[in-house]
Chains A and B, each alone.
Chain A
Amino acid sequence: MKNEQGKPKKYGMVVDLDKCTGCGACMVACMSENNVPFKADESNKRDSITWMRVYKITNGKPFPDTENCFLPRPCMHCEGQHGHSPCVSVCPATATDYSTETGIVSQIYTRCFGCRYCMGACPYHARHFNWWDPVWPDGMEKSLSPNVSVRMRGIVEKCSFCFHRYQAAMDKAMMEGRKELEESEYQTSCTQACPSGAITFGDLNNPKHAVYELKKNPNAFRLLERLGTNPKVYYVSSREWVRRAGDNYIKGEWENKQNAKK
């Protein structure tokens, strides 16, 4: 399905890191929207699951020059070259796939057999493994969303850009005889939960959507861009050290890059 410009949809996100306060509302909204399982003790981050994770980064300078920045990290929905994102390329089970229609990297839980190659391939730690079957506190299973299937032990899961919301929005559009979605009809739960409006979500190919212009900001960058993963989550920061933290640079390389821009 193509939009009015004849280009396929490419859903993506622009996160304004200057606005993010690190409150974690996006993480909470995501967990409840997507039936993400949790345990009584979540202190070991290597076996806990969070589709959306807010990282704290620092410029490493001593007081009074210390600065912090919070960086929300969903799945980057990498396009790579022609949809060959790192995880899609390595999956032996065809459980994860790139859709050229929406630009969303899907994860089919019933197809996944838990080899975890995709987790090794993902440079963003966006994928998580279910070491246990989910155990919900008494009565909570009644408040699970029926629009997202719950996962079982032994499989990998990750952010889907709330794809079920796209499905529901498309249902409504089809009912009304439309093939196009308005920007507001499909928004991820983290975008809507963010109290400071740091996250903007939409079709990167559609000039009517806010992200189309926002991603062109000269202060916009993507994480580990040079790996060629071609991610669809853009970050914007006016602070140079934050932009620099988006990738690994050898001595003098960043300065050369800045000079080249001028």
Chain B
Amino acid sequence: MGTEEKQIKHAADHAAEGAGGGPILFFIIGLAIALGIGWIAFPKALYSQKQQPFDFSHSLHNGLVDNGCESCHFFREDGSYAGVPKLAQCIGCHEDVQGSTPEEKVFVEEYVKKGKEVPWLIYSRQPDCVFFSHAAHVKVAKMKCEECHGPIGESKNLKPYEQNRITGYSRDIWGQNIAGIKTHTYDRMKMDDCADCHKERGVKASSVQTERDACFVCHK
């Protein structure tokens, strides 16, 4: 055996005992723990869950009204959007208990009879700096509610409201997917989602800085 061969053999032995087991396993376990914390534990801890004051079935109501979503979620004459209905809109039908659901009983007894507004938690509430014109999207661009809000009209129950503990915003803004991957147009409600659609539909590029649509289109 020459010196050269000896050296090679020695190096090979050394590699076999050093790289095996220990450090690599340690690294893999560490990585798994870190990923687990980052992708599972942290998102769970990040959002607090709140229940709505009482349950509500969109699909049940949708079957009873004439004008679809706009029957209750309507435009005011000045072009502003009413959003979640107030007691005044519900009272037309719900002055007394109509059906047999326990939720309706809660609604009528706790809120209608006492004249108290329902403190609904609003899933799609945007931060204060956002100006969203429903008129521009629904009346001018003729978009359907589902494009941003999803098939909420077919839901039988209200999901828990998840609030980001750091920002205070609803989880619907970031979306359910913690990686931010979206498969539907209604999966997220972030600024990038607005901007993507605006670019796609060719909203007038009036910004000098970005050569896209200007900031003062959606901000206030």
A173 touches B79 (CB 8 A): yes
Chain A residue at minimum C-beta to C-beta distance from B75: A175
Please tell me if B80 contacts chain A, counting CB pairs below 8 Å: yes
Please tell me if B208 contacts chain A, counting CB pairs below 8 Å: yes
A147 touches B220 (CB 8 A): yes
| Mask of B127-146 contacts with A, CB within 8 angstroms, 1/0 | 11101010110011000000
With both chains docked as a complex, state the minimum distance between the C-beta of A2 and any C-beta of chain B, in angstroms: 9
B140 touches A163 (CB 8 A): no
Q: How many A-B residue pairs have CB under 8 A?
A: 98
With both chains docked as a complex, state the minimum distance between the C-beta of A185 and any C-beta of chain B, in angstroms: 11
B220 touches A99 (CB 8 A): no
B208 touches A98 (CB 8 A): yes
**B140 CB contacts on chain A under 8 angstroms:** 174
Please tell me if A130 contacts chain B, counting CB pairs below 8 Å: no
Contact of A99 among B78, B129, B136, B214 (CB under 8 A): B214
B79 touches A175 (CB 8 A): yes
A100 touches B220 (CB 8 A): no
With both chains docked as a complex, state the minimum distance between the C-beta of B187 and any C-beta of chain A, in angstroms: 22
With both chains docked as a complex, state the minimum distance between the C-beta of B220 and any C-beta of chain A, in angstroms: 5
Determine the distance from Cα of A110 to Cα of B216 in the docked complex, in whole angstroms.
12
Please tell me if A101 contacts chain B, counting CB pairs below 8 Å: yes
Determine the distance from Cα of A173 to Cα of B79 in the docked complex, in whole angstroms.
7
Interface of B is mostly: loop
Please tell me if A58 contacts chain B, counting CB pairs below 8 Å: no
**B75 CB contacts on chain A under 8 angstroms:** 175
**B204 CB contacts on chain A under 8 angstroms:** 1, 101
Please tell me if A245 contacts chain B, counting CB pairs below 8 Å: no
B78 touches A163 (CB 8 A): no
With both chains docked as a complex, state the minimum distance between the C-beta of B161 and any C-beta of chain A, in angstroms: 21
With both chains docked as a complex, state the minimum distance between the C-beta of B46 and any C-beta of chain A, in angstroms: 20
A149 touches B129 (CB 8 A): yes
**B215 CB contacts on chain A under 8 angstroms:** 94, 97, 106, 108, 111
B214 touches A171 (CB 8 A): no
| Mask of B206-219 contacts with A, CB within 8 angstroms, 1/0 | 11111000111001
Determine the distance from Cα of A163 to Cα of B13 in the docked complex, in whole angstroms.
75
**A148 CB contacts on chain B under 8 angstroms:** 220
Which of A38-46, A80-88, A135-143 is the contact stretch?
A80-88
**B139 CB contacts on chain A under 8 angstroms:** 174-175, 177
Please tell me if B77 contacts chain A, counting CB pairs below 8 Å: yes
Please tell me if A168 contacts chain B, counting CB pairs below 8 Å: yes
Contact of B79 among A97, A104, A168 (CB under 8 A): A168
| Mask of A210-236 contacts with B, CB within 8 angstroms, 1/0 | 000000000000000000000000000
Please tell me if A3 contacts chain B, counting CB pairs below 8 Å: no
With both chains docked as a complex, state the minimum distance between the C-beta of B65 and any C-beta of chain A, in angstroms: 21
**B127 CB contacts on chain A under 8 angstroms:** 110
A175 touches B78 (CB 8 A): yes
Contact of A106 among B77, B79, B133, B216 (CB under 8 A): B216
B209 touches A94 (CB 8 A): yes
With both chains docked as a complex, state the minimum distance between the C-beta of B174 and any C-beta of chain A, in angstroms: 16
Residues of B1-54 contacting chain A, CB below 8 A: none
With both chains docked as a complex, state the minimum distance between the C-beta of B82 and any C-beta of chain A, in angstroms: 12
A168 touches B209 (CB 8 A): no
B128 touches A174 (CB 8 A): no
Residues of B72-126 contacting chain A, CB below 8 A: 75, 77-80
**Beyond A8-B206, A110-B219, A148-B220, 7 extra complex contacts between A and B, CB < 8 Å:** A1-B204, A96-B209, A97-B215, A98-B209, A102-B206, A109-B129, A149-B220
26 contacts between A and B (CB under 8 A): A8-B206, A82-B208, A83-B208, A91-B209, A97-B207, A97-B209, A97-B215, A98-B207, A98-B209, A99-B207, A100-B207, A101-B206, A104-B216, A106-B215, A108-B215, A108-B219, A167-B131, A167-B133, A168-B78, A168-B79, A170-B133, A172-B78, A172-B79, A174-B133, A174-B139, A175-B75
